[in-house]
Amino acid sequence: MINLANITFGKTIPDQCRREISHLYNAGRYTQAQLAAAYGISQSAVSKIINGQIPAPIGGVNPQGIAANAA
């Protein structure tokens, strides 16, 4: 499961959290219910994030660079 710091926010979920939720779900590693529990939001909120506008990529991640260094 995801180990997150205690995340607290008001009515608006920060863009960074939205990107993380979207990317974690689309990677196929977590269900909507697991992400909802981890972020302290409802499953319907996770669904709206996932089915809404596609978020920008998370910066600083270079999968090709990681694969090249492992070879």
Per-residue pLDDT at 47: 93
**Position 64 confidence tier, pLDDT thresholds 50, 70, 90:** low
Residue 36 sits in which domain range?
A: 15-54
24 is a domain residue: yes
Residue 61, token pair as written in the block: 């991640």
31 is a domain residue: yes
Encode pLDDT of 15-51 as tens digits.
888 988 998 999 998 999 999 999 889 999 999 999 9
Give the whole-angstrom CA distance, residue 43 versus residue 31: 9
Residue type for position 8: T
Per-residue pLDDT at 59: 61
**Alpha-helical segments (H) within the chain:** 15-26, 32-39, 43-51, 63-70
50 is a domain residue: yes
Give the whole-angstrom CA distance, residue 17 versus residue 68: 29
Domains of the chain: total? 1
